[in-house]
Homo-oligomer: A and B are copies of this chain.
Amino acid sequence: MRILIVEDEPGIYNFLKQGLEEESYAVDIAEEGKKGLQLALSGEYDLLLLDWMVPGMSGIEICRQFRKEFKDTPVIFLTAKDTVDETIFGLQAGANDYIKKPFHFEELLERIKVQLRPKSGEHSIFKLGNITLNTTTHQVLKAEEVISLTQKEFALLEYLMRNKGIVCRRSRIIESVWDIHFEYNTGVIDVYINALRKKLKLGEDENYIQTVRGVGYVAKEI
């Protein structure tokens, strides 16, 4: 597995390079933005680690450009900033995950493994209209805005978005999201659908989560 690190501080990239090579990844470094993008676009890498701020071109811009060509290669941001405003753009630019400096190497390794594991098919980012849902970071955006959801709300939305366009029966939802296998006689789903619609502010014009009377719900782009 080949990893490209775009990062200008030798202290950090040497530390990373050594650690990752011990884990038997092949690691290349780019200290400058344009060079980084150029290398990334060569298509030889299985994963990108981008620093937020690099000379020449921002990590975000590299990510955006890279995404145009490579839809499935995971991108992880290394960032000192954890303000909401900043991470939004990272996610919008198509990043799969981000990690705040300073971080434990172990944790970064874990996240790299998570991203490389599925490789075949499994996606971590789902879109529905102007809603973006990222399963690794557990974040949801509507347009520019971060929507804060609880565990169950997130799980339900994820289920619906994974099955975009397909009508989801209540019984299946209960099985997948709530792990209940007999007895579908509960109203929880309705309550959570309600909460989602409210938090996502889905009005008449943006009715992304539609009710299918007698059956269940569908996520649809109208």
By a beta-carbon cutoff of 8 Å, the part of chain A in contact with chain B is 107, 110-111, 114, 181-182
Report chain B residues within 8 Å CB of A182.
107, 110-111
Q: Which residues of B contact A114 (CB under 8 A)?
A: 181
Which residue of chain B lies nearest to A113 when distances are taken between CB atoms in the complex? B181
Q: Give, as a whole number of angstroms, the nearest-CB distance from A32 to chain B.
A: 31
Please, how many angstroms separate the alpha-carbon atoms of A107 and B184 in the complex?
Answer: 11
Q: How far is the CA of A208 from the CA of B110 in the complex (A)?
A: 33
- Residues of B contacting A181 in the complex (Cβ-Cβ under 8 angstroms): 110, 114
Say how far A62's CB is from chain B's closest CB, in angstroms. Answer: 25
| Nearest CB of chain B from residue A82's CB, rounded to whole Å | 14
Smallest Cβ-Cβ distance to A99: which chain B residue? B182
- A10, B182: Cα distance in complex, Å: 27
Bound-state Cα–Cα, A182 to B181, Å: 28
Can you list 5 A-B contacts (CB < 8 A)?
A107-B182, A110-B181, A110-B182, A111-B182, A114-B181
**How far apart are the CA atoms of A182 and B107 in the complex, in Å?**
7
Rounded to whole angstroms, the CA-CA distance of A110 and B107 in the bound complex is 42
Q: How far, in angstroms, from A107 to B185 measured CA to CA in the complex? A: 13
